[in-house]
Structure 1
Amino acid sequence: MSARKSPRHAGLFAHKLAESAFCKYLASRACQVKVKGKLEPLSVYLWNSSRYQQQNSLKSKFIQGLQNGTLDPTDFGGFMVQDYVYCFRCKESIDTAAGKEQDPTLKDFLEKRSEYYMKYYQELFTSWHIIDPAGIALSEACDEYAALDKEVAETMISLYFIVSMIPCAKLWPWLGQQISSNPSVSIFSNTYD
């Protein structure tokens, strides 16, 4: 894995989970919703229901700066360091969820995600000379998101923890696709390609 590929990179999350027996069950009619007279998977319904949030994310200063090549490198660096620390904390939450899981398929999935997150943040901690992630203050939003991951992992069944990871796993690849569709050159393109 390249340090440039986030654990949330397209294809690294959803396709692995899709192989599980649980997800094959979810793909059945029992987990579909009726929309305008037609059945569609719940995940599609939820994604389509979040278009407002998707567009707001796409219009954010950070994403627009990535897309247009105008993002201040200091802002970019600050975001990336926070992402590495978030992944460190998320790995701990993944370990908590994996430790509780009895289903071998979901347990294996979580253990592999944990390994992937660890490899990602360790490579980048080395690149950015981070020795102690506890010494890095996260933004309020990032800290709250990491705390939510921890709470879900500690207090709910592991499946709910996996479900709580899906919005992030779906949004970032989508944002990358939107940015990549712009022909302008960005010095940050290796972040989302």
Structure 2
Amino acid sequence: MSATVTGPDGRPRCSWCQAAPEFFDYHDKEWGYPVGNDQRLFEKLCLESFQSGLSWRTILAKRENFRAAFHGFDYDKVAEFTDADVERLLQDAGIIRHRGKIEAVINNAARAQELVAQEGSIAAYVWRYEARPEDLPEPQTASTSPESVAMSKDLKKRGWKFVGPTTVFAFMQAMGLVNDHATGCVMREKAAQMRQDFTKPE
């Protein structure tokens, strides 16, 4: 299968965009661009954990519902959720009603607070796991990396849940820690420039 597909404007995009019409907009405006905002990073880790076993299309379609249900993924607020909130969320048809994943988000919010206290920010922590470009395989040929394995292992040691190496690698792709836009994709150069201009959090 070709690494690219023709987009609505006639220019090539990553081939996964053809799976759903809404993917082109997500791909062009968000995917692969570096993020240094803790709330957005926490949100993406949570949404990737919800995606486990499902399609990203399902999660993307429900993203605004997830944001409403979890207070915009403000981890300080989510960390205060109680068993009553879990039961409330299990009745919310707008999200994925999976008890284990809902409880994992609440657990991970508390772990995020601990991480920020220890490391300064979620952003400072995750960007330490950025791979050197020369160590990366060809774009979109891997589902994990040594860095995603290392981050997954460390997060699990810190008590995080639903953060396996594949989930973490998908997070890294989306949040710009790697530029995994396909060779030939018109957005690869834009992502590379944004990564070059990005000031890594410390």
Q: Same fold (TM over 0.5)?
A: no
- Whichever structure has more helix as a proportion of its residues is 1
What's the TM-score once normalised by structure 1's chain length?
Answer: 0.29
